[in-house]
Chains A and B, each alone.
Chain A
Amino acid sequence: MWRRTLAIVFKELKQLSRDRMTFGMIVMIPLVQLMLFGFAINTDVRHLPAGVVDLSDTSYSRALVQAVAATQVVAFSARYANATEAEAAITRGEVKAVLYLPADLGGRLVRQSTAGVQNYLSEPVGQWLVDGSDTVVAATIRALRQMPLDEVMGRPVPVRVPSFEVVQYFNPEQRTVVNIVPGLLGVILTMTMVLFTSAAIVREREQGNMEFLITTPVKPFELMLGKIAPYVLVGFIQVGIILGTGHLLFDVPIRGGMDSLALAAMLFICASLTLGLVISTIAKTQLQAMQMTVFVLLPSILLSGFMFPYEAMPSMAQWIAEALPATHFMRMARAIVLRDAMVIHLGADALWLLGFTCLGLTISSLRFSKHLD
């Protein structure tokens, strides 16, 4: 049995190495997607033109302005004497936002920084005047409300009230790309793995190879196994490309162990490949296989937590998402890459992917008939 499986594996590898188109896709799909999502669809807003109204004019206020500027979200380009002037500047479109620091800034800062758990009397240290016509700008500035004040005071400041408030964990620079790369891993692997194998059986059928192959003693399970095994390798090449480029171009940190990540990727690759195989045994033509792949790909992008947070989806969508291998992998990948989790802690997702693979292999082997009708 292993001989025949190996024979198919080697045959597939040889064919793959001669198929320039597919070979190119293996490398180009991850690269192009990564660039697209990393650069073009970067929802981070940077260097918004902004102004300052500094009524206190103390060392505190200057430190605060500097701290805000250091986030690079805004670039201070003007100073205004009072709120009225600032409002006029926003109306004219000179700046998108103005940071208003009141005269009693020092007092507010002190109250803020010494506030105990019980003290709810403290108030925000400053105010942002925002051009609300652009929702992205508004949302970006709203995120700035929660800026920590440690640097301004030169000591840790317990945060109780939106001052420039809350601390952002794991992604302190608020860059979505860090969150996107592990997600992209799931999307790209779904796309390529399902695409490659969904064509695998159909192609042989369309090119006429199948009629010969099914008159040989090869067994359906051997054929299925032999068809997916070479693509596990392809999957790992892609994981390498995505993480490597993500690390080089976007400084995506890889906190978790590589072994955990490799194991999670392995499980996900196998699950996606068998999903493709099942499609391959259903589709009659390569075009149909392609359409069915898109049918799987869309929910994998939309529902897996890549686009929208899983928690925010209606329960029906969550229910569909749970059925997709991509959802489970994305959960694992984010946990491993960004939070240094280990596969053992993600047992449920890992088991689910394993089960999916076994089920997929069984279904495709049963569905594959060594008959032409």
Chain B
Amino acid sequence: MTKSQDYAIETRGMSRHFGSLKAVDSVDLSIPRGSIYGFLGPNGCGKSTSIRMLTGLLRPTSGDIRVLGEVLPGSEEMLRRRIGYMTQKFSLYENLTVVENLEFVAQIYGLAWKVARQRINELLNLYDLAGRDRQMAGSMSGGQKQRLALAAATMHRPELLFLDEPTSAVDPENRREFWERLFDLCSQGTTILVSTHYMDEAERCHGLAILENGIKRADGSPQQLMDDMGAWVVEVAGDDLRTLKHALVREAQVLSAAQIGSRLRVLVSRDVPAPLDWLAPRVEGRLMNPVHPSLEDVFVTCTGGKHVA
């Protein structure tokens, strides 16, 4: 057993209701210090609401929350200097320049003038904003804004960093670059909690929680999640895959069937002991190939599946 000090975040039964809507429903989390932890889930599954509770912005309807050893709600102000938060929507000032925004943040966190100058230059270089320091934040591209927001959120070198869908407006190349920065921060000891709906991002996390409708469907490392998945994955190749797909999804044992190029990726429940034998008569002689599950398969299995194309 790990001691509780080794966890940056621990929750038991964390819930938040908006009227009759259970935006977050009894979520248990144990996030070790020094790791990158992901919240993976579709729109409206409660990622932002969870992060807001963990940053002390929203009070939970019920449940216990412990962040960096402090109990929430109650010690929000004490935690302010120890955590950083990059909001889903760009929350710096669009009509201030890059440097003005960073100077403002530095002063709010009480950095001495000289230290602030040094830190701002360091961040400008680190996040590739050096040439743009006089540009208005509002006129920057999605990727630049996101780097600026990350610079602002890490200004005071927080122990724990929350990133709410940081890469939603970023191209794949910049996304990879961004993750390199996250691993740099992580290697310096920062714990990072990041929410996303991209599989490739989720796959990079040390640990992961899959959320749906406010409920945690699964958690663990990506590898572990894929190994423990409750379904077989079979790829079928051949003609007229659309018809086959419509026939297959009507079967109770088929969790999902999704076309990927010229193949149909079929998830068959583990309740079926021999999936290839079970599928053979149904695919009518088309080619079958059992494959390793991907994180997307895990996601589809966890979230009930069939609604996904």
Query: Which residues from chain A sit less than 8 Å from chain B, CB to CB?
Result: 3-4, 6-8, 10-11, 14-15, 18-19, 207-218, 370-373
Whether A217 touches B87, Cβ cut-off 8 Å, given contacts A18-B95, A211-B57, A372-B52, is: no
B window 79-100: CB within 8 A of A:
80-81, 83-85, 87, 89-96, 100
B55 and A4 contact, CB distance less than 8 A: no
Whether A15 touches B93, Cβ cut-off 8 Å, given contacts A217-B108, A217-B110, is: yes
B window 22-47: CB within 8 A of A:
none
Additional pairs, 9, CB under 8 Å, beyond known A11-B104, A15-B93, A217-B81: A4-B107, A4-B108, A6-B107, A208-B89, A208-B90, A215-B55, A371-B57, A372-B52, A373-B59
Closest chain-B Cβ to A15's Cβ sits at a distance in Å of: 5
B95 and A215 contact, CB distance less than 8 A: no
B81 and A215 contact, CB distance less than 8 A: no
Give Cα distance in the complex from A216 to B91, angstroms: 12
Closest chain-B Cβ to A201's Cβ sits at a distance in Å of: 14
* Interface secondary structure of B, over-half rule: loop
Q: Which of A4, A19, A211 is in CB contact (< 8 Å) with B91?
A: A211
Q: Which of A18, A212, A216, A371 is in CB contact (< 8 Å) with B59?
A: A371
A217 and B95 contact, CB distance less than 8 A: no
B95 and A15 contact, CB distance less than 8 A: yes
Q: Beta-carbon contacts of B59-81 to A below 8 Å, as 1s and 0s?
A: 10000000000000000110011
Q: Beta-carbon contacts of B212-228 to A below 8 Å, as 1s and 0s?
A: 00000000000000000
A216 and B107 contact, CB distance less than 8 A: no
State the total of A-B contacts with C-beta under 8 angstroms. Answer: 76
Closest chain-A Cβ to B66's Cβ sits at a distance in Å of: 18
Is B179's CB within 8 Å of the partner chain A? no
Is B198's CB within 8 Å of the partner chain A? no
B100 and A14 contact, CB distance less than 8 A: yes
Whether A216 touches B55, Cβ cut-off 8 Å, given contacts A11-B96, A14-B100, is: no
A215 and B57 contact, CB distance less than 8 A: yes
Closest 3 CB pairs of A and B: A7-B107, A212-B91, A208-B89
Query: Which residues from chain B sit less than 8 Å from chain A, CB to CB?
Result: 52, 55-59, 76-77, 80-81, 83-85, 87, 89-96, 100, 103-105, 107-110, 152
Give Cα distance in the complex from A7 to B104, angstroms: 6
Q: Could you say which residues of chain A place their CB within 8 Å of the CB of B93? A: 11, 15, 209
Q: Could you say which residues of chain B place their CB within 8 Å of the CB of A212? A: 85, 87, 91-92, 152
Closest residue on chain B to residue A15 by CB atoms: B95
Q: Could you say which residues of chain B place their CB within 8 Å of the CB of A207? A: 94
Closest residue on chain A to residue B77 by CB atoms: A217
A7 and B108 contact, CB distance less than 8 A: yes
Whether A215 touches B58, Cβ cut-off 8 Å, given contacts A7-B108, A372-B52, is: no
Closest residue on chain A to residue B104 by CB atoms: A11
Q: Could you say which residues of chain A place their CB within 8 Å of the CB of B107? A: 3-4, 6-7
Give Cα distance in the complex from A3 to B111, angstroms: 10
Closest chain-B Cβ to A298's Cβ sits at a distance in Å of: 32
Give Cα distance in the complex from A372 to B84, angstroms: 17
Give Cα distance in the complex from A19 to B136, angstroms: 13
12 contacts between A and B (CB under 8 A): A6-B107, A7-B104, A15-B93, A208-B87, A208-B89, A212-B85, A212-B92, A215-B83, A370-B76, A371-B58, A372-B52, A372-B58
